[in-house]
Structure formats: C-alpha cells, structure tokens
Structure 1
C-alpha cells in the first residue's frame, strides 16, 4: 500500500527544477513571514504582561549579562519610593515633554529627519518611552531601521501603560554603568545612599550620565559633566507642571 509521504517526495523529485525552486521559495517565504509575525507579537504581548506593578521586567542588556555569566546589579524600587529629585532630574534631562507626548515627540523627530536630509549629524530624539521599549525589546545599535521599529512600539507602549508605570520601568532598567541597572543600584553604587536620599546635585549628575554611562562617572564628574548637571539641576527646580504625570508625595 503506497505511503503518502513517500508519494509526495517522489512527486517533488519528478517536478522540473524551476517548479521545485518555486515551491521551496513559497515554503521559506511562509516560514519567514511566521517568524516576523512572532517577532512583532512578542513585544506587544510582553507589554501587557509588564503592565501590572508587581511585574519587574528586565532589559535585553541585563539578559545578555546573564547569558554571558557577567551578572548585574539591579534593585527594583517602586516609583513612589524613589523620592522626587531623581525621577524629576532624569525626566528634565532625558525627556522634558514626557507628560505631554504620546510616546514620540514629533517635533524633535521632524528636526532629526530634517538634519539627516541636510547632511548633518542627527541629534538624539528618543523619548523615555522610546528608550524604554529599546531597552526592553531591541538592541543598542544605532540605525534608522531600529528607530523605525522603535517608534510604533513606543506609541503602543505609551498607549497601554500609565505614564507613571512607563517611568517606573525605565528608571529600573536604564543602564548606569557596566552591570549597573536602575536608579536605586546607581545611587547606591556611586553615592552610597538610596535613591530617595539623593541630593539635587547627585540626582542631576546621575541624569546627565545616562547618554553615555560606560564613559561618564557621576561620582567623579569632569568639568563638562558638572556644568551639564548644574543646568539640569536648574531645570529640575523650575520644572513645575511639566512633571505632573509622575509627581509623587515621597
């Protein structure tokens, strides 16, 4: 009695080479499409998983440290227990319009595109929402392809998550040095105190370290880093209504 699998194999061998190639191409196209769909669905589903406050997400860099047996220092702290000066300083340094936009600062994004079209070096336009999805789901490499993926993810993430939760996740997964993740671990490492006890100056120094945490050291700031910190400290003092969406009583 003929076996169906053997018959199918025999029929495929009898096909002309071009026909077999087309059939194989269709199979691989379907497989690639399924893989791409899976890649898209994973961040969307994980965003829903990460919404409850008792879930403590990890970043792709933290996972890489685990896989390579480097380990890391991350001490999860709820936003309301971080105090005020740390979150406010970081918001004013990284994304002053965080409370106003829906995940993407379109004005800054248009400026970046215009700079690129004019042949200038593009400036940073990543919001805290964009940096959060990058840290959670993407790599650190710089490319317009990554940015193209980052933008819709940030819009979705910001629509699903309350602003306070976005900020809480970001402040617990941002990298502040080799193997140092989150505001609490950074505060303890560099200044020997919990985040809620940071001075305004210390908080500003941690904030201006974020753009380049592998090079900048907030505990031993250069003159330039100190000047940047002074500017952020002034902005934080005058933040007013800008910080309404993350304001705490702690």
Structure 2
C-alpha cells in the first residue's frame, strides 16, 4: 500500500509540474522577449545536421510600437481576421477545413495566430494527436495569461519570413534594407503573403501567386480598416 501511495504522490506531483511549468514560462515571457523559439532551435539544429553551412539565424526582437502598423494589419488580414474576437480557436474555420478535407482528402490548416504562437514557441513540427493536444492546451493558457497585444507582438517577432529569417525586424533589414517601423503597406502585404510557406514562397522574388495574394491582403486590410487594430497596437 505504501508503495502505491508513494507512486500516486509522485505521479500527482509530476502532473502538477507539467500543468504549472508552461504557465510559469508564459508569465515570464509575457514581459521578457524569448531568446529563441522551439521552431527556431529545431530548424537550426536540422541545418547543422544537414551540414548546410549557409543556414544561419537572423532574429532581433523589437517591441510592437517599433513595428509598422501596416505589418500588424497585414498579418491579421492574411492569417486570422477574427483575432480580436476569438479566444484562441476559430471553430468555424476549423469546421470548414475539416469539411473541405473530407471532400478532397487534403486537410488544410485553420490555425489562429494564438495557436501559431503556442506551437512555434514551445513545440515541434508534426501532425500527431499528442502535439495537437499540447498545442490546444498551450493556446488556452496563452489567451488566458497574455493580452492580445503581447500575442501579436510575439507572433510578429518569431514568425519565419524566409530561410533563417525570423521576425519582422530581421525580414525588413534583409529584404527591404530598412527598419520594421518603416515598412510600407505593400511591403507589409508581401511579408504576410509568404507566411503560409516561407520555404516555398520568397519575398525577394515573388511568384505570381505571392503577388496575387499580396493584392488580396491589401484589399482585406482596406476592408478591415486601419482602426481595426488600434486598440491593440497603441
């Protein structure tokens, strides 16, 4: 009996730790910029193992007020137009993605900005049920513990915009030779246009698809209006 009681106690302690550790980390990262994300680390290690000597990592955190409002609006217009209204999950988009996937066998992503922040900060790539479950768990806590401003700020700083290029500041310097605060509406839409697959789509040499998507994003930005994110970005 004593052995079973000790085992149950250890399991209980382990479960409490697993539940509380992400919360503590999120409270810290609410005020402290992350030095890197799990996604950055995974890509960097993969590059070293593949002996891709040219694959470095460009990453520079900047506060949201040092990023052009055009970029924030472009990313929301492209990735998550319900960002200000949901609590981490866009159930309508998830349902539509599942219905479309059932029709053609290709399941499309319906991740919100909050889900992408949770995944990129803490998790690995993949589509396993375990990873998706952890992503959902972390997404809930991100929404509970962080304001929308911090979620958006973090996303803009850790999103990949090209091979080894993370965050808007690094992307602005590499692609446009300027600061993130100086990006124009068109430049912001080009950055947002490659987000679905920055390994395939490139800002310096945009394909017809990227250019068309950029124009679509600019129309969505106009529809949303510049005041849409004002209560978040200011």
TM above 0.5, yes or no, is: yes
1:113 Cα deviation (Å)? 3.7
Counterparts of 1:55-70 in structure 2 under 5 Å? 55-57=32-34, 58-64=36-42
Cα deviations by residue, 1:132-191 (Å, 9 ceiling, x for unpaired):
000111112233432222122112101110100111111111111222110110111111
The equivalent of 1:178 in structure 2 is 163
- Compute the RMSD of aligned alpha carbons: 2.7
Stretches of structure 2 that go unaligned for 5 or more consecutive residues are 49-54
Q: SS at the partner of 2:202?
A: coil
CA distance in 2, matches of 1:125, 1:65: 23
Structure 1, unpaired ranges of 5+: 1-22
How far residue 247 of structure 1 moved from its aligned partner, in angstroms, is 3.5
The residue aligned with 1:8 is none
Tell me what 1:43 maps to.
Answer: 22
Structure 1 counterpart of 2:207, from 222, 243, 246: 222
Structure 2 residue aligned with 1:137, among 112, 115, 122?
Answer: 122
Q: Which residue of 2 aligns with 1:237?
A: 222
Contact 2:118–2:142 (Cα < 8 Å) also in 1: yes
Larger Rg belongs to: 1
Question: Aligned equivalents of 2:179 and 2:213: distance in 1?
Answer: 23
Determine the structure 1 residue equivalent to 2:69.
Answer: 84
- Per-residue CA deviations over 1:42-97 (Å, capped at 9, x if unaligned) read 32221111111xx1112112234565766411111100110211111011101111
Contact 1:116–1:122 (CA under 8 A) maintained in structure 2: yes
CA contact (8 A) 2:101 2:108 kept: no
Which deviates the most, 224-233 or 194-203?
194-203
Tell me, yes or no, if the aligned pair for 1:92 and 1:236 is still in contact at 8 Å: yes
Structure 2 residue matching 1:238: 3-state secondary structure? helix
Aligned to 2:151: 166
Aligned length: 222
Deviation at 1:244, TM superposition (A): 4.3
| Aligned partners of 2:42 and 2:124 also within 8 Å | no
Query: CA–CA distance in 2 between the matches of 1:209 and 1:34?
Result: 43
With over 3 angstroms needed to count, the CA separation of the structure-2 counterparts of 1:234 and 1:204, relative to structure 1, is same
1:246 and 2:232 matched: yes
